[in-house]
Structure 1
């Protein structure tokens, strides 16, 4: 079993706690730190600061909302942090919530599972050094290639419903869930296995 630390970016806590938590996780020997986004830091800016403040912990960004960030900016952010910090990086994609997507960013969550699948394809292409070649129903990215070294980062999908489970089964190296009971986790694992068959 591999344990990681996820930064708690709570609204009622000081933003500086994120750096303190990262330093503590690195000092305690955790192999991986998850850096999400809420109402404080941009994930990639915070990841760069964490890379400068720690010695070895790998950095996974997200889950990042695919209806807020496009594949090129996601891949550019991951590659930027990898190049600037020398750290292993990963990225998790998800569909987020109505509050974040509609409320904060004024974007639509319609067809979010389609956006998740199409984004996963494009982000994977970019992080492996390929040119993007996705002309989807919701997401498009064609002809873009990272100029920085491609970090070949693992791709994680945040999945709760059957369509997102299908995206995880088809496109992800791993799947992440949040705040689920053991029974719900078991059900999600069964759903993932069924989608993978």
Structure 2
């Protein structure tokens, strides 16, 4: 199993010490570097900035929000970074949720699975550069037609010849239908809240996609790059408590009260009653209480917290569950080196 460093997205201010983390990760043999976006910092700018100091790590997005860019704009950015990095780019995509898609980007959220199919097909047309790019689907028609169009649109091929005609695409997917779609049309899956306990369930979703006609991959060559919250510590209670506010945010505060895809992940993990309680507390402004009601076992289910021996044992379980890359967020170069030593 490989390690990737997940820089994530920025909070109120850019993080400090990123250059040192990236340098340590490359020196320690990390496989990849990932960035993310929400509704603040974008993913591509930091990835290009910090990626420019690397020579071996693959450069991925986890994830680009599809509604932030048209498929051709995303394909252009990807082929550009792929050239600049010497063929080290991976495109991680996600549909986000209606609150962000319609509230921040001003785009329709409907039919996310169909939109994903069209989006990826268009990107691959751009990179293949076999013919002018066209799409007859309802979500991203190319050329644009109908009342909004002048009728002057022309199918085009990219001016720049892509370095690779098949840049890897990974999907950030949480629900069973979306995970199956990733197995069918993508090169990998980017789970955000992964637990080895549900490995059989995940693989049943993936196997549904692998079995579909025309599936690109099989389990043998499909990547699972899972975000992993790892804390090496002898003070487990304090570390577990420190993770709970973030879990409360995703469980109870993301999306809308009745449409929170992250909360649905926890429901599928068996925590429906807890999700209801955390959501009620969080959305009534009682965020501290929302974090406090989360049991340690729930944190343990999706995080690895403990001493070196415990962490090493849990990493082995994640690998056995099918994870090919663990995306970790170390806080210092020393933590980078500690983690690298655990997966040698």
TM-score of the alignment, normalized to the shorter chain, above 0.5: yes
Q: CA 1:65 to 1:56, structure 2 compared with 1: closer, same or farther past 3 Å?
A: same
Give the TM-score of the pair, scaled to structure 2.
0.52
What's the CA shift for 1:149?
Answer: 3.2
Q: Kindly indicate whether residue 201 of structure 2 is the aligned counterpart of residue 190 of structure 1.
A: no
The match for 2:167 is 153
Distance 1:171 1:57 in 2: 24
The match for 2:128 is 128
The match for 2:26 is 26
Query: How far does the alpha carbon of each residue in 1:139-195 deviate from its partner, in whole angstroms, 9 at most, with x for none?
Result: 234534332232331111222223313421321111221113223443222111023
Distance 1:14 1:77 in 2: 22
Query: How far does the alpha carbon of each residue in 1:87-119 deviate from its partner, in whole angstroms, 9 at most, with x for none?
Result: 511101211133432232222211111111111
Query: How far does the alpha carbon of each residue in 1:111-145 deviate from its partner, in whole angstroms, 9 at most, with x for none?
Result: 11111111111112223334433221212345343
Distance 2:178 2:31 in 1: 27
Whose radius of gyration is greater, 1 or 2?
Answer: 2
Residue range with higher mean Cα deviation, 149-158 or 71-80 = 149-158
What's the CA shift for 1:13?
Answer: 6.0
Distance 1:18 1:117 in 2: 35
Q: CA 1:185 to 1:139, structure 2 compared with 1: closer, same or farther past 3 Å?
A: farther
* SS of match in other structure, 2:121: helix
- Considering only aligned residues, what root-mean-square deviation do their CA atoms show, in Å? 2.4
Give the TM-score of the pair, scaled to structure 1.
0.85
Q: CA 1:105 to 1:184, structure 2 compared with 1: closer, same or farther past 3 Å?
A: farther
Q: Kindly indicate whether residue 78 of structure 2 is the aligned counterpart of residue 64 of structure 1.
A: no
The match for 2:190 is 176
User: Matches of residues 28-177 of structure 1 in structure 2 within 5 Å?
Assistant: 28-130=28-130, 131-141=132-142, 143-150=155-162, 151=164, 152-177=166-191
Distance 1:149 1:138 in 2: 26
Distance 1:33 1:174 in 2: 16
Structure showing the higher strand proportion among its residues: 1
Unaligned 5+ runs, structure 2: 144-154, 212-344
* SS of match in other structure, 1:140: coil
Q: CA 1:40 to 1:125, structure 2 compared with 1: closer, same or farther past 3 Å?
A: same
Q: How many residue pairs end up in the alignment?
A: 197
Distance 2:99 2:84 in 1: 32
* SS of match in other structure, 2:38: coil
Distance 1:185 1:40 in 2: 33
2:92–2:170 Cα contact (<8 Å) kept: yes
* SS of match in other structure, 1:4: strand
